[in-house]
A and B are shown apart, each in its own frame.
Chain A
């Protein structure tokens, strides 16, 4: 790395986001401040069956060009996979046609964020994904942000994106998490504190001993849920755990970026993890966060474990430990959707899926299905779901008058056993 860029990397004054945007801006004019508009190259971009068909339409309306670099684009058929209806099948087919013509990687049957974590994301990358939860990849120390379809098409053509340099919020988390409290509870705590637009246009940096103690999967849950406070990016800096994760995946970090000692934050939020308890976000907003004692006993028709937030192996294992040897409550649908083909295979091989299935769970293929209300777990009018996913908006998982309570995988599993929202600490 040449002189000026190395100087920026070592700066004591810049946040993670300021560093990465300063170093990568195409005009090469040095350090940025919050509010500055910059143009940066995109190292990796992806889209889903929720966003790619519109991006392809836009791309083809802009001309008959080739994409700038097919090796930096991934298409994911994940939101409604396999197709649940003919019009959806036709949009999937459009994606396969485009990927074939352009020589782009297309994967089917893993949720994009889990697949990208497993196969592509790397520290120091600038990632623009056509899905809001692209912030997930900040868990590996990447600057990863969500875009829409037209923007994705523009990136496919140019390999670049404009960004407004974000202010950064520093979230310090210290203390050991008590029994029965998981990364999801911490994520809900943070979203509740920041509010639904508390991080809008801003970057979040997670710091502190609790974060360093978390697995990469748990960090991904935090970075993923930061989107629910509006975050543009949500960063966990690289450490030995990140490096071990990458080694196991056979990848090298692109660049390790650490925020400067004297970097300026627009806000600092301190969380004492040792004082946390299981939390739930009541409908219809993710920042409507309550201690579980306030909602315990609410009857549920469905319990959903899955999504880009909580469909990883550690999530499935926590749930399996809770339901092992028991039967879920009569009449409750306990839907388990592993986040990727790799997670599915691992959970199959180690007996996790067997435990869940014997307890009465319906184990589905990886898909966004239930979380976005398209298939494999759509809610009827008046139904209530306790869900390990990320959004509880009106009509999110089905009928306009259905209701979604967001919680940790442990709370979801315990609630499936009792048929009502249940404190998981009773089962741990």
Chain B
């Protein structure tokens, strides 16, 4: 996983649930991240996947990813090209799913408050540093426990297990 992520900010509000991230009717049928990605955020902004470029970042409020345990939600986010999610807070299952897939998730209420739609964002994953290059402001995300950082560094649980034949906590 590249340590630096750079792209455009896409803002959403509080309590973005997994049903609006990827409706069940799509996720019932396929495991393919590209197909899932084509419907990402359909419940809130049906045109979203067409507007996103690789490196872009979702910036959202409280309780991002609440609701269903569907891992197809972070998979759809990755599938449409989004490279990280910054939120004021994450719902617990979404957070675990994202880390297991190697999708960087950064918790910072300050960043959510300050970053504007369309700002250029640069993230240094190792330091948990979020820079808004448009406004020049910087934010420090909450630091995840080291075994989760290890997972993110290696690109998720599958990659980690393939390399080490064990899990970081076992």
Contact = CB atoms under 8 A, between A and B. Distances in A.
Given A150-B100, A196-B66, A374-B24, A285 B31 contact: no
Max chain A Cβ within 10 angstroms of own Cβ: one of B17, B29, B66: B66
A267 interface: no
Contacts of B53: none
- Max chain B C-beta neighbours (<10 A), residue from A54, A158, A393: A393
B114 interface: no
A150 B89 CA distance: 22
Interface string B1-45: 000000000000001010110011101111100000000001110
Given A39-B169, A53-B31, A88-B28, A197 B63 contact: yes
A151 B168 CA distance: 13
A352 interface: no
Interface residues of B, number: 45
A325 interface: no
Contacts, number: 144
Nearest to B27: A50
Given A62-B158, A87-B29, A400-B42, A232 B92 contact: yes
Interface string A64-86: 00000000000000011000010
B157 A150 contact: yes
B70 A50 contact: yes
A131 B42 contact: no
Interface string A190-209: 00000011001100000000
Given A154-B161, A395-B23, 11 more contacts: A39-B169, A50-B70, A61-B158, A147-B69, A150-B158, A197-B63, A230-B66, A373-B23, A393-B43, A396-B19, A400-B42
Interface of B: 15, 17, 19-20, 23-25, 27-31, 42-44, 46, 62-63, 66-72, 75, 89, 91-93, 96-97, 100-101, 145, 147, 156-158, 161-162, 165, 167, 169-170
16 contacts: A50-B28, A54-B31, A54-B75, A63-B161, A147-B96, A148-B71, A148-B100, A150-B101, A150-B157, A151-B96, A151-B157, A162-B147, A162-B169, A373-B23, A395-B42, A400-B43
